[in-house]
Amino acid sequence: MKLKALALAALMASASALSAEVKIALDSKPDLETSGSYNWAQAFGAKLKEAGMEPREMPRGSVGNEAEKFDQVSTGLLEVSLSDVRAVAQVDPFVYGLRLPYMFDDAAHMQRVLKEGKIFDRVNEAIAGQDVKLVAIVPIGPSSGIITTTAAVRKPEDMANLRMRALDDAQIAMYKAWGSSGTIVPWGEVPAGLQTGVIDGYLNSPFVPITFGQTDFVKNFSDARVIVPIRAVIVSKMWYDGLSDADRAAVDAAVEAGNAATQAWLDRVSESSLTALEDKGVTVQRLTDEERGAFRELSKAVYNSGLLPAEDVETWSALSAQTR
C-alpha cells in the first residue's frame, strides 16, 4: 500500500511540476481582515505567481483533517499546508516551546527567536524522515486573551470560579496555576459548551469570537496576551527538493513575502481587533503590563508541567531572553 501511495505521489508530483501548480491547504476562511494565516497564504501565492507558478488555494477542510493533510504532504500529494503546530510536535515535541505561555512578548519577538535560534534547521533535521519540511510559523492573529461569557477578568483571582476550555493538558495546568480549572473540549463543541455553561470561556485571539459568530454569547475579552496563536506551514520535502534551483529560490522568497505580509497585518490590527470586539458588544479589558505580570508569574508553573524536557525549556527561555 505504501509503495502504491509513493508511486502515485511521484506521478502527481511529476504532473504538478509540469503544470507548476502549487496546492495550498488553508486553515481558515479566506478573509484578509481577520485571518493572519490567510494574509500569509495570499502573499505567498502572489509571489509564486510572479515566478510563473500557479498557486491553488484549497478551502479549509477540503483536503481532510490535520492528520490527513500531514499524510498528503508527506507523500507529495499536497505541496503546502497551513497546519496545527501539533502535527509537527507529534514528530518533534521541541516545537511545543512555541506554546509555552508568555515565552514571547509578541509575534515579532517570536520570529527573532526562530531566526536567531536556527529553530527551522533543528526541527527539519528531526522531521526529515517524514518527508515534510517546516518553512514558516505564522501568527493567525494578535496574542491570545481570555474570552468569557460572563466574568470580566483583570487578575487571576477573577477566574477562581471559571471552568475554561483547554486544548490539552498543558493548558489545564496553566488554568490550575491561575487558580481556575480547565477541561478539554473539541473546537466544534465550544459554542454549545459556552451557551449551556459547560465551559465559561477559552483562550484565543480577539478576532476568533467574531470570525466564528460567537459575540451573541461571548461578552468579555481580557487582553492578557498569553500566547501567540500560530499555524505551522509545512511543505512536501519531495516536492521542494525536486524543484529547480530557480523555483526553490522563488518558493523561499514567497515564504519571506508571506511572513512580511502577516507581520504588517498584525501591526495594523493589534488595536482594531479590540475595537472590532467592542463594536460587537463585547467588553474589552485592556490590562496594564503590571496586571499581565501577575498571570505571567503564575504561568511559569507550566514550564515544569512535563510538556517539554527541562533542557528544551531552558533552550527556549534562553533564546527568548537573548532576543527580547
- DSSP assignment of 268-308, as one string? HHHHHHHHHHHHTT-EEE---HHHHHHHHHHHGGGGGSSSS
pLDDT by residue (tens digit) across 155-196? 999 999 999 999 888 899 999 999 999 999 998 999 999 999
- Please give the pLDDT value at position 267: 94
Distance CA 43, CA 55 (A): 11
| pLDDT for position 131 | 96
Residues 50 and 98 in one domain: yes
How many residues does the structure list for the chain? 324
3-state per-residue secondary structure call for 118-129: CHHHHHHHHHHH
Same domain, 69 and 134: yes
The DSSP annotation for 182-217 comes to: EEE--GGGHHHHHHHTS--EEEE-TTHHHHTT-TTT
pLDDT in tens, 186-196: 989 999 999 99
The confidence score (pLDDT) of residue 322 equals 95
Residues 122 and 163 in one domain: no
Indicate if 310 and 242 belong to the same structural domain.
Answer: no
Query: Which residue, chain included where needed, has cell 524543484?
Result: 243
Taking a C-beta distance cutoff of 8 angstroms, is the pair 97, 313 a contact? yes
Same-domain status, 296 and 164: yes
Q: Are 273 and 266 contacting, i.e. CB atoms less than 8 angstroms apart?
A: no
Domain identity same for 239 and 215: no
Q: Rounded to whole angstroms, how far apart are CA atoms 156 and 179?
A: 7
Residue 103 sits in the same domain as residue 12? yes
Looking at the structure, tell me whether residues 215 and 174 fall in a common domain.
yes
* Res 192: pLDDT: 97
In the chain, the number of structural domains is 2
Task: Write the CATH number for 199.
Answer: 3.40.190.170
- The Cα 40–Cα 255 span in angstroms is 8
pLDDT in the model for residue 118? 97
Residue 220 CB partners (closer than 8 Å, separation 6+): 146, 147, 148, 149, 150, 151, 152, 153, 201, 282, 283, 284, 285
The pLDDT value given to residue 199: 97
Same domain, 210 and 283: yes
In a shared domain, residues 179 and 199: yes
Q: Are residues 17 and 130 in the same domain?
A: yes
Range of the domain at 72: 2-140+230-271
Supply the pTM of this predicted model. Answer: 0.88
How far does CA 205 lie from the centroid of its chain? 10
Residues of the chain with pLDDT under 50: 1-19
C-alpha cell belonging to residue 25: 491547504
39 & 104 share domain = yes
- Can you say how many angstroms the Cα of residue 121 is from the centroid of all Cα atoms in its chain? 19
Scanning 22-91, the segments in alpha helix (DSSP H) are: 36-50, 66-74, 85-89
